[in-house]
Amino acid sequence: MHWIMWVFWGFFVTLIVGVYLVDFLTKRKYSFHEQEKSLNQNSAVNDTLREVGRIDQQIGPF
pLDDT for position 61: 64
Number of domains observed in the structure of the chain = 1
Which residue range forms the structural domain that includes residue 29? 2-59
pLDDT for position 62: 60
pLDDT for position 23: 86
pLDDT for position 11: 96
Q: What is the pLDDT along the chain (62 residues), one digit of tens a residue?
A: 788 999 999 999 999 999 999 888 887 776 667 667 787 888 888 898 888 887 776 676 66
Which parts of 1-62 fold into alpha helices (H)? Answer: 2-25, 39-59
CA distance 49 to 55: 10
Q: Count of residues for the chain? A: 62
